[in-house]
Amino acid sequence: MNEVDKIISNYEDLRESSSNNLSKLLNFGKLAGTGKLIIYPVDQGFEHGPDRSFSINPDAYDPHYHINFAIESGMSAFAAPLGMIESGYKTYENKIPFILKCNSSNSLTSIKDQAITGSVEDALRLKCIGVGFTIYPGSDYNYKLIQQACDLFREAKNAGLITVLWSYARGSMSKKGETAINIISYAAHMACLCGAHIVKVKLPTSFLEEDPTKDVFIKNKLKIDSPVDRVRLIKKSCFNGKRIVVFSGGEAKTDNDILNEVKAINEGGGNGSIVGRNCFQRKKNDALSLINQMFSIYKS
């Protein structure tokens, strides 16, 4: 059994069409067949605004720039909100798998919530392989978001799509707590319980948030000292490694910082990265060079 078949065998709920779409994702781009993924997401225009996101690289105002970059660089898939995929899906049809991001936030409000901006019907119309959604465990709106995610995923699976869940802690914890290992582990497991085929979380730190989960980390002497240890624990929390887990590229970083994170993800058994602004906020050639180095690590 090859690596892709091993991964797919962990998903006992998959209909044939969903299995085909997951196989398409895992067999596309420069990491095809490795069980690793690098997905290129461009939802930052919603989350942070176009000028804050793209003015450093004016070409990035054009949706075609992003889709073309994802194809040229050899990414596994392109994930974006409705309008961005609509703007280029005919031009780039069958050239890269599309994942429709179906809810979005924005920085014009401090409310930790998301608006539904896409549907399964949209994803099918745009010939996407799957849908993506964000939940905010810990926010005042987390129960509503979880219910919406489960409703969307149920419909998506019936339609033969795969599901990706961004699980980002927000709200009740400290700012450091949003990337604390005990909080990220909890958020990742919640994503699995919502039925996500692919879980997306931030790379956790060794910080332990004041929470009922903190004591068990200490009492059971869970290994969290190194980034590799923490990636292993997140994978374990995702059904003992039976779910695909990819890690956010996060805020702008140096090449060295990103590559060190990728090494930890790879060594810890993570399935890859979702990296957006650390590509399009660089000059194109610099971004391509960075991505190629990431590919080399994930192939090693």
pLDDT at 76: 98
What is the chain's length? 300
pLDDT at 250: 77
pLDDT at 171: 80
Model-level pTM greater than 0.85?
Answer: yes
Pick the CATH number of 3-299 from 3.20.20.70, 3.40.50.2000, 3.40.190.10, 1.10.240.10: 3.20.20.70
Of the pLDDT bands very low, low, confident and very high (cuts 50, 70, 90), residue 215 is: very high
Going from N- to C-terminal start, the domains of the chain cover: 3-299
SS3 label, residue 23: helix
Whether 200 is a known active-site residue: answer: yes
* Backbone angles phi and psi of 252, in degrees to 5: -60, 135
Asked if residue 89 lies in contact with residue 78, where contact means CB atoms within 8 angstroms, the answer is: no
Chain Cα centroid distance, residue 137: 16
Of the pLDDT bands very low, low, confident and very high (cuts 50, 70, 90), residue 252 is: confident
- Alpha-carbon distance 94 to 89, whole Å? 9
User: Which is the catalytic residue, given 101, 200, 202, 235?
Assistant: 200
Asked if residue 213 lies in contact with residue 181, where contact means CB atoms within 8 angstroms, the answer is: no
Asked if the model's pLDDT at residue 42 lies above 90, the reply is yes
